[in-house]
Amino acid sequence: MKSRIILLWTLIGIAIFYSAGVYTGYKLFSPKPKASQTVSAQAILTALHNRGFLVSQTYVFDTPVTIDRNSGNAFKDFFFGQTIEARGTMEVNLGVDLASMTQQDVVIDPATNTITVTIPKARLFNSRLVGPIELKNNQGVLKQLLNSDDGYNESLSLLSQTAEKAAQTDETINRATDQAKQDIETLLGYVVEGKTVKVMVK
């Protein structure tokens, strides 16, 4: 009889010990529920500001330009006239200045789990020469002797102006803006997982 009581209490002790171990293991190793993600307008704005100017479209132009410094007087131009023909490859970048955005451009709607971001329209970022400039410089006899000018700086300036003008049509601006919208939606998709992101244009 005594041995049965001892055996019974031993089994109860083992059961309690085993149950305690299972409970402890569950608490330690069970997957933790995900905390609900709270995203503020400032956090979104910071993520956008960190990107600075977002280049969304790059165009390359190879258009020749001519600089005519002749007066139209054949005799005078023979001595002092100048014609410069230049060609160079120009790269022009368009995009959106995210650093200029404010908190008013970010609206969070908890009811629909939607974040609406309003961005400015795409604009010119910069242009740069890619490679050398091919120059053909015809100068009058006295100009070449007394005031020679290779025409490089003025040619570079005109090439930049020509390429920038060609890159800033309504079609190219709209294309750059649409691409910026897609890029920002992708970027914010990593910042605000599980929420719907809408990008509007001012």
pLDDT at 66: 92
For the chain, give the mean pLDDT: 83
Determine the average pLDDT of the residues in 24-47.
Answer: 63
Query: Is it the case that residue 128 has pLDDT exceeding 60?
Result: yes
Q: Which of 18, 27, 200 is nearest to 117 (CA)?
A: 200
pLDDT digits (tens, 9 = 90+) for 101-127: 999 999 999 889 899 999 999 999 999
At residue 35, the pLDDT reads: 40
- More confident position, 23 or 196: 196
How much is the average pLDDT of 90-98? Answer: 97
pLDDT tens digits for range 132-180: 999 988 887 666 666 677 789 999 999 999 999 999 999 999 999 999 9
Contact 160, 90 (CB under 8 A): yes
From the list 86, 94, 82, 93, the residue with the least C-alpha distance to 157 is: 86
**How far is 16 from 82, CA to CA, in rounded Å?**
103
pLDDT at 23: 55
- Secondary structure of the chain in HEC code, one letter for each residue: CHHHHHHHHHHHHHHHHHHHHHHHHHHHHCCCCCCCCCCCHHHHHHHHHCCCEEEEEEEEECCCEEEECCCCCHHHHHHHCEEEEEEEEEEEEEEEEHHHCCHHHEEEECCCCEEEEEECCCEEEEEEEEEEEEEEEEECHHHHHHCCCCCHHHHHHHHHHHHHHHHCCHHHHHHHHHHHHHHHHHHHHHHCCCCEEEEEEC
